[in-house]
Amino acid sequence: MEKSIKFADCILGYLYIDFMRNFFIIISSFLFITSCVSKNDNNVIYKEFSNNEWSRFDYLEGKIDVKNAPVKYDLVMEVLVSEIYPSSYENHRDNCTLEFNMTIKNPNNGGARSKNYKYTLKDKEGNWKSDKQGEYYVFKLPIISEMTFGEEGTYDIKIENKYSREPLEGIKSITLKYNNSK
């Protein structure tokens, strides 16, 4: 009887050690994977356009929550466009600009600022000012550097397409991000 109890204790001990080892491997793997996943907490707006078209009145909206004011952020827009940008009509492609208006509303109805932006995506010879990555050209456009957010609260951001023809074609996505100013 004593041998069978010792044997059972050995089996239970082995099973416990095996369980703990597997549990440790699973938890370690989970923590490693979650730490490697990039966090997009600083994305204010992300929009992937269906059919690669941005309608004139499809406003893009987002928010920045400021908890510790004052703080300075840089706002950067990442834009992916294809060969047919800004239009499937070849004669429209000579003027290859991205035009939009961005409005930032301060917390507690404390006013707003609005500005039109225009970025030229091709040089005078018609060459893209970005390298092609896959099917798209990727542009990282500096929108505002060292913008001071002086109040705590939520800032509402709205981006309006200012392209004069409907729709803006060849645009895959827009991401507006904020980063701490250096």
State the CATH number of the domain containing residue 160: 2.60.120
Does 167 lie in the same domain as 118? yes
Does 129 lie in the same domain as 105? yes
**Contact (CB, 8 A) for 173 and 49:** yes
Tokens of 41: 């907490």
Does 99 lie in the same domain as 14? no
The percent of the chain in helix, strand and coil, each rounded to the nearest 5, is 25, 45, 30
Does 158 lie in the same domain as 79? yes
Residue 65 dihedral angles phi and psi, to the nearest 5°? -95, 120
Does 145 lie in the same domain as 81? yes
Does 128 lie in the same domain as 176? yes
pTM of whole model > 0.85?
no
Closest CA to 86 of 164, 170, 166: 170
Cis check for the bond before 86: say yes or no (omega within 30 of 0).
yes
Does 61 lie in the same domain as 26? no
Least reliable range by pLDDT among 9-23, 93-107, 142-156: 9-23
Q: For residues 88 and 82, what is the distance between their CA atoms, to the nearest angstrom?
A: 10
Does 137 lie in the same domain as 95? yes
Domain count, the chain: 2
SS3 25: helix
Does 55 lie in the same domain as 142? yes
Does 51 lie in the same domain as 23? no
pLDDT category at 39 given cuts 50, 70, 90 is very low
Domain extent for 12: 1-37
Q: What is the mean pLDDT of residues 2-25?
A: 59
Q: What is the pLDDT of residue 55?
A: 92
Does 176 lie in the same domain as 139? yes
Burial of residue 84 (CB within 10 Å: 0-12, 13-18, 19+) is middle
Closest CA to 80 of 159, 161, 134, 126: 134
Q: For residues 110 and 149, what is the distance between their CA atoms, to the nearest angstrom?
A: 12
Q: What is the mean pLDDT of residues 19-48?
A: 59
Q: What is the pLDDT of residue 93?
A: 66
Burial of residue 182 (CB within 10 Å: 0-12, 13-18, 19+) is exposed
Does 84 lie in the same domain as 65? yes
Q: Which residues contact 115 (CB under 8 A, 6 or more apart)?
A: 101, 102
